[in-house]
Structures are given as C-alpha cells and as structure tokens.
Amino acid sequence: MLRSARASRAVCRALAANISLLKQVTRSAGRRTVHARARVLPRRQNLVTLIERRYRRIVLSSEAETSLTISAMKAFLLFCVVLLGSTLSIFAADKVAEKLKPAPDVITPDALLAHIKILSSDEFEGRSPGSKGEELSIKYISDQFKAAGLQPENPDGSYFQEVPLAGIKSDPKVVLTVVGKPPMELKFPNDFVASSARLQPEIKIDNSDLVFVGYGVVAPEYGWDDYKGIDVRGKTILMLINDPAVPDPKDPSRLDEKMFKGKAMTYYGRWTYKYEIAAQKGAAAAIIIHETEPAAYPWQVVRSSWAKENFELDNRNKNMDAVSARSWITLDVAKKLFAGCGQDFDALKKSAITKEFRPVALTAKANIDIKQTLRSFKSHNVIGKFEGADPTLKDEYIIFTAHWDHLGRHTELQGDQIFNGAVDNASGDAAVIALASAFPKADPPPRRSILFMCTTAEEAGLLGAKWYAEHPLYPLEKTLADINIDSMNVWGKARDIEDVSYGFSTMDDALAAAAQRQGRTAIPNSRPEKGAIYRADNFEFSKVGVPSLYIGKGEHLLSRPENAPLRSDEFDLHDYHQVTDEVHADWDLSGAGQDVDLLFEVGYQIVNADKFPEWKPGVEFKPKRDAMMNK
C-alpha cells in the first residue's frame, strides 16, 4: 500500500498532463486516418484497465484527492483508448510485419510512459536491491507479467529467481610509504576508495611491495603481457585505467586499429577485468590510477560509486577467489608516490603503451586495512515465460532483459535524495513489459518460447544477470539469444536506432532489416570508447557464450538537425546516474514506441527462424558458444 501524498499529487499532475495531451491528440487524430479496428479493442481495453488499476493503487491513497482523481482517470482511460486506436500501421510494406499487425497495437507510447512513471516514482525510492523499492518493483513487474498471461518461471507459481546478495559498507585505510620517507596517509574518499568483494569483516594487508604493472593486461591475441618476468603474489599492484592506448605507427596522432580495437574499448579496459586478472595472478591488492579522460568519468563518479554500500553476489565461497583489496587512487596521489620513488609517472605511462613494457617495482610499501559491515539478503530477478506454439521448438528460448534496479536513496544528500532512474532503467522495464503483453497476441504465435526478465543489481556490477547466466533456469545451449534493453530514447522519434553490439552477432542483420522497414537505419555504437557492451547485462550472457544483442537508443531525433548535439549525450552529461533522471514534462515516448515495435519484430524473427543466431568470426565469445553447441 502506497501512502505518500506527494506521490499522489505527482500522479495527479501526470494525469492532468495526460488530459492536456489528450486534447492535442484528439485534435490531431481528426487530421489523420485512425485505424480503430473493433476486433482488437477488447485486448486494448485489457491493457488500459491494467494501467488504470495500477494508477488507482497509488492515487487512491489520498482521500481528499479521490474524486478529482477518478475523473482524471476516466479521462486517462479514454485517452488511452483513443491513442491505442490511433496507432498507425508500421509494417505495411512487409509480409512478415503485416502478419504481426495486431500485436504491436498494445505497444503504445502512453503505456510505456505509464509504466515508467510508476517505476520511477518517489514511492519506489530509486529501486535499490533489498529495499522497499525492490518489493514494490518486483511486485509491479510480476503483476504485469501475470496480467499479460505469462507463466511464472518457477513451478511454485512465482515469477522470481532468488539472487543471494551481500551488502558491503567499507571503512578503508590506506597508507603508502616510500622507503625512508614519512608515510603518505591517504584521505578517504577524496584521495582513494577501497573495498573488497570478499565477504569478510576485515581485510588486512601489511607491508606489501608496490609494483607498477602498466595497464595490467594479459592479451595473447595481441602479443601483450604486462606481467612478464614478475611474480606479483602477495604484492600490491598499481595500474592504468582503460586499455593500452597504442598509437598507429603510420599516424601517431591516432590509435592503432589493430591493437585493442583502436579507439573502441575492449574488455581489457574495464576495471572489472583489471581486478579479475589481479586475482588470477595472486596479487594481494590492486590499485587503479584514476584519470578523467581515459576513464571517461571524473573522480566524483568513482568516489560516489565506491564510498556507499555496494553489493556482491553472496556466493558459497564468500568470493574468496576475488582479489583481497581493490582500490582506486587519484592521479595526484599516484604522481606524488611515483615522484617519491624517484620515478616519472608520465614517462612510465608512455613506456606502458608498448609490448616491451616490463613491470616496475617501486621502492614503496602498502598498508591496507578495510573494515566491512556486511548484510546478506535475497534479491530477485523477475522472470516470466511465454511458451512457444511448436511442440518441439517450445523448449528453445530467447530472453529479453532489462534491469529493474537503480541507485536507491542517498540520505546524506541535501534536497532530492532519490535516484529515480526513469530512463535508467524504468524505460527498459516498460519496454520488456510492453513486449510481454505483445507476444501473446502475435499471430501466428511464436514457435519458440520467450523469457522476459527484469534483473536485479545491474548497477552493482551486472549481478542479477551474472547469477542467471551461472544458474540458468533453461539450458544455455537451448537459449538462442539475449536481447538487452538499458535506457530508451524518451525524446521523440529518431531517424535511426543504435545497435550497441554492432559487429558482434548475426542479429545485426535482423535489426538492420527491421529498422529499414520502419524507414530508419541501424547505426553502430556511437561511443565505442565507453565500452558499453561490457557494462550492461548482455555482457553476462555473452561471457557464457549466448549471442546477445544490446539495443541502444534512436540517436538522431527528427526534431533536431542531423548534426546537432545528441540529446542522449546531454542526458549522459547532466542526468545519468543523478537524482535528475526523472520523468520530465518534455518527454515524448513516440520514439521509444517505435523502438519497442522494432524489438518485437526482431524477437519474432529470431524465435521463428530456422537457424540460431551466431557470433561473428573472431568475436571473443564465439569459442565458448561453439564448444557448447559441439561445433
């Protein structure tokens, strides 16, 4: 039961906004052809009733506002019917698409917006795992799955996969001492952050030797080994962020396309990789030197994401295979430390961009003490299944994923404390819910089965997806693909759609064809240097071999000149992972509606295809898939 009058007022405002939109739509509907097919109306009304019911739950919590709200709701209901009726056919030119026509009718901008408004309302407190926000989120999503007619994945009738998590709050101390000099006592969190994935109350590292290992990368395919000639067991290693920035021998102003994919980030550039390899090498602690440009984010981001409670999977081994201490230090601290040891940081950094680089032992020691407050709890992936119609093929699956979690509520903040995560990723959940309601209406019905999954703890390191990939409910070799959605375009229709995982799998072609049928183009990842495909749930499926498609946003909006700054870049700059990622009055979900139609078609093609999607030759995830499929 939701009680806040503040949220009720917000919903009233939202409804009022819808009413004014309704007027506009009614006006514009008069100007264009409206396809109100009586045959599909009962289905549409189901959806409308559903959304209305959700609104009622939040809205009716305030007595005083009840009568106003009911009339607003009636208007909203009418509004939904009108808009649902006015959805234009998008697949007119194509036979397959023609067949699918009735289904996308349930995918409407307003249904998407309604879901987003609820999931990102202050009531949901930023949807942090293990909080009231989790309870509300997984209830809302599973109710939607149920209403759409999905089966619970679990034979006990629930839509949940339990994910054991541990919350870890770290109180770290790091002292670096150049031999023969007074110790550098670093200030947390201005100079450094440190924590451990090991579920232990205290991590202590005494007098450990410090070694600079360049980028900390071992990449045989590039003939690269930053650990050559050294045993780092028990030592504390220092490394640079991102992957080695190797210049093109012909034009040193550019990066070598043949090394670590040039400007694009490879997994070797991710901090997760750096801590993983440090653990494999037996290092006691791993410290990343932060630099704003190559990291693509300022120290502020490191500080705020590591100085709060973090989550890890509560694995049976208590994560004792992880590196004992993981830390970041600022560039200033690193420069001071290197200078103290008689080393020039910039010169060492330069030497690290060649294959000839060898680790450099510093004349310094590290003392690290991290006290950790731990709590264990069960979080949940929400999973629903729509069974395929073919008696044999129904045991094969595709999965649509979007994470439901976000950053929660930060009580130390002045003013707004709630990270509503409206774009990230209430919008993706709305898309998955819309797809879940569309597939059961597809005619002819899909041959294979479809799983709809809203994952937990993505923001904490893709933990829900990782748990599923390591504990799959359906065999991975029978899982054709993961299609991941993380943040939709909420700013109107676009000329294009970003294929973030472009170049990785044969699904690129299905996406490009579907986009073309909408009169749009699929474009490659527009910010490859950010390594987005390694930073979202699709990566956990890729890692275990399952071909994954990561759909981005429509980027070039019809409302802006072709070469104007991207709206999504403005979002990244001002609202990404900020309390301002909320529903705004200028939102226009028509582009998101188009994107979900597109995903629907891509998914429909894959579940009915004669062949499984495949990784393209040379893609790092391909060997795992080939082994799984006995190729």
Q: Of 312 and 486, which CB lies nearer to Zn ion in the complex structure?
A: 486
Q: Of 284 and 454, which CB lies nearer to Zn ion in the complex structure?
A: 454
Q: Of 535 and 625, which CB lies nearer to Zn ion in the complex structure?
A: 535
**How is residue 39 written in tokens?**
């045959």
Name the site residues for Zn ion (rule: CB under 5 A): 424-425, 486
d(CA 401, CA 592): 16
Give the number of residues written for the chain.
Answer: 631
Q: Of 349 and 535, which CB lies nearer to Zn ion in the complex structure?
A: 535
Supply the minimum distance, in Å, between the C-beta of residue 500 and Zn ion. Answer: 12
Contact 499, 525 (CB under 8 A): yes
- Paired residues of 225 in beta bridges: 218
Supply the minimum distance, in Å, between the C-beta of residue 326 and Zn ion. Answer: 22
Supply the minimum distance, in Å, between the C-beta of residue 131 and Zn ion. Answer: 17
Supply the minimum distance, in Å, between the C-beta of residue 427 and Zn ion. Answer: 10
Alpha helix (H) residue ranges in 406-560: 428-438, 463-470, 507-517, 538-543
Q: Is 304 exposed, middle or buried (0-12, 13-18, 19+ CB in 10 A)?
A: middle
Find where tokens 């939709």 sit. Answer: 488
d(CA 61, CA 2): 7
Q: What is the DSSP letter of 343?
A: -
- Write out the H or E segment, with its range, that includes residue 375: strand 360-386
**How is residue 151 written in tokens?**
């089966």
Supply the minimum distance, in Å, between the C-beta of residue 15 and Zn ion. Answer: 28
**How is residue 490 written in tokens?**
């909420």
Q: Of 208 and 425, which CB lies nearer to Zn ion in the complex structure?
A: 425
Burial letters 43-62, b for 16+ CB under 10 A, else e: bbebbbebbbebbeebbbbb
Contact 154, 160 (CB under 8 A): yes
**How is residue 165 written in tokens?**
């998590």
Supply the minimum distance, in Å, between the C-beta of residue 458 and Zn ion. Answer: 6
Contact 512, 591 (CB under 8 A): no
The two most distant CA atoms of the chain are separated, in Å, by: 85
Supply the minimum distance, in Å, between the C-beta of residue 403 and Zn ion. Answer: 6
d(CA 435, CA 274): 37
**Residue-by-residue DSSP string for 95-116:** HHHHHTTTGGGG--HHHHHHHH
Alpha helix (H) residue ranges in 60-147: 66-86, 95-99, 109-119, 132-147
Q: Of 121 and 425, which CB lies nearer to Zn ion in the complex structure?
A: 425
Supply the minimum distance, in Å, between the C-beta of residue 459 and Zn ion. Answer: 7
Q: Of 309 and 572, which CB lies nearer to Zn ion in the complex structure?
A: 572
Q: Of 379 and 425, which CB lies nearer to Zn ion in the complex structure?
A: 425
Supply the minimum distance, in Å, between the C-beta of residue 405 and Zn ion. Answer: 9
Q: Of 352 and 465, which CB lies nearer to Zn ion in the complex structure?
A: 465
Q: Of 486 and 508, which CB lies nearer to Zn ion in the complex structure?
A: 486
Supply the minimum distance, in Å, between the C-beta of residue 406 and Zn ion. Answer: 8
Q: Of 333 and 382, which CB lies nearer to Zn ion in the complex structure?
A: 382
Supply the minimum distance, in Å, between the C-beta of residue 313 and Zn ion. Answer: 18
Of the candidates 248, 239, 268, 225, the one whose C-alpha atom is nearest the C-alpha of residue 531 is 268
Contact 360, 352 (CB under 8 A): no
